[in-house]
Amino acid sequence: MSGNAAIQQDPAPIVACTISRDVQEFDLLIEDMETELGEGWGDLSLEDALAFFGQPDAEALEFIAVAMDDDDEAELARFAEVIRAASARGIKAIVIAEEVSPIALHQLLKMGAEEFVPYPLPEGALHDAIERLRRPEPEPAAPPQPAQPALQKPGVGHRGAVFGVHGLAGGVGATTFAVNLAWELANIDKNKPPRACLIDLDLQTGSVSTYLDLPRRDAVYELLSDTESADEESFQAALLTFNDQLHVFTAPSEMLPLDLITGEDVERIIDMARAFFDYIVIDMPTTLVTWTETVLNAADVYFAPIELDMRSAQNTLRIIRLLKSEDLPHDKLRYVLNRAPKFTDLSGKSRVKRMAESLDIEIGVQLPDGGKQVMQACDHGLPLSENLAKSPLRKEIMKIAKSLHEISVTAEAAAK
Ligand SMILES: Nc1ncnc2c1ncn2[C@@H]1O[C@H](COP(=O)(O)OP(=O)(O)OP(=O)(O)O)[C@@H](O)[C@H]1O
Ligand SMILES: [Mg+2]
């Protein structure tokens, strides 16, 4: 099977089509299509595809394999249109992509593409993608969450406090701290619960939604990709609530480049959050990005979780050096030593002291190791207070929440 020849009237029904600018540029795809479907497939140009979908021959089509490379990105809208039209007719789409940007892929997946396979095709990848397409549809997902009641604004000029959380090395417990701090803040005063919001800006590997068992909404990507047109309504549409008390802006469902957003975007999001909430906890990516500065500047406190190890020590030194050289407010950093040695571990205690001295920092908060149970609580999508209420880790985080709340209440009273 070759070229842009129109679909041939073959005895075997045509169950699939490749669609591309020139299929000859994807010779491995031709080979794999022949292996998978024999003569039961055809090739269409982009121009012919839309017209073909409307013809009776198209009724037997099971799927299309849309092949594109980086040269095609300028024509992304046409590819997206083909996928949308196929999906509207119940024809599934596999995208075969060679060096296509994640943003372009995201657009195509949004238009209804079900599978994405990189080109050159890895061994068996097309076969596996076709198998997955042919699997029966899974049980319908849980019904969508009911619409959230509209948030009430506390009043003109209200400005919530912002707490950044930035793990200085991967896996040091930043998200566990951020999630539980936000939850404790939301529950700090039963009579007058503060309005708390948790924002996951770890756009690629953010796990807030996992730790609170919340779905990732499309509205999040839509808001992030165009904050200029965002308003209070779209901001609220992107938020979810956990147990009716904590408002959460999860990371998007797709892994997106961290530079998808700019400092201005982040500033707009923080400003919107500040208008509605008393406390905003922001979980940051470990990687420094252009907008780290924006959050650092906006933050009232910028927590920096670390562990008692060499990589945390070295990264701490590096971030302090960088912040100083850029004249950024490094004094906002509050070091949080996670998995800190127990009270009785004297050698551990002296190592903490030596680490603080050698880095010339104050380690004001130490969080104990809570063992496997903490990971299990996270995996179950629950804050510690829900089933590990008495754990020393939860108690420490609660103490921090209390002191932040007290500071804020005192400041508010003084301002009156
Ligand atoms: N004090 C603790 N005691 C026991 N387990 C912990 C503790 N803190 C974090 N964990 C566990 O360690 C793992 C990593 O934690 P977490 O996801 O919070 O780290 P992170 O710094 O956000 O990681 P990433 O770099 O992926 O963002 C999780 O399984 C979590 O449950
Ligand atoms: Mg994290």
Structure confidence by residue, pLDDT tens digits, 283-322: 999 999 999 999 999 999 999 999 999 999 999 999 999 9
Structure tokens, 262 = 């700019």
Q: What is the DSSP string of 367-414?
A: EE---HHHHHHHHTT--HHHH-TT-HHHHHHHHHHHHHHHHHHHHHHH
Q: pLDDT class for 268, splitting at 50, 70, 90? A: very high
Nearest CA to ligand 1 atom 28: 375
Q: With a cut of 50, say whether residue 2 has pLDDT above it.
A: no
Please give the average per-residue pLDDT across 123-151, as a whole number: 74
The answer to whether 85 and 93 have CB atoms below 8 angstroms apart is: no
Work out the mean pLDDT of the chain and round it to a whole number: 91
Domain boundaries of the chain, sorted by first residue: 12-134, 161-415
Class of domain 161-415: alpha beta
pLDDT tens digit string along 198-228? Answer: 999 999 999 999 999 999 988 999 999 999 9
Please give the average per-residue pLDDT across 173-193, as a whole number: 97
In the three-class reduction of DSSP (H, G, I as helix; E, B as strand; rest coil), residue 208 is classed as helix
Alpha-carbon span 247 to 243, nearest angstrom? 9
Ligand 1 pocket, 175 CB below 6 A? yes
In the three-class reduction of DSSP (H, G, I as helix; E, B as strand; rest coil), residue 307 is classed as coil
Please give the average per-residue pLDDT across 145-155, as a whole number: 64
Alpha-carbon span 57 to 9, nearest angstrom? 9
Number of Cβ atoms within 10 Å of the Cβ of 271 = 13
Q: How far is the CA of 374 from the centre of ligand 1 (A)?
A: 8
Omega prior to 138 cis, within 30 of 0:
no
Ligand 1 pocket, 315 CB below 6 A? no
Please give the average per-residue pLDDT across 264-273, as a whole number: 96
Ligand 1 pocket, 367 CB below 6 A? yes
Same fold, 12-134 and 161-415: yes
Residue 370 CA, closest ligand 1 atom number: 3
Give the mutation target among 175, 181, 307, 380 for probing the ligand 1 site: most ligand atoms within 8 A of CB: 175
Q: Which CATH superfamily is domain 12-134 in?
A: Response regulator (3.40.50.2300)
What percent of the chain stands above pLDDT 70? 94
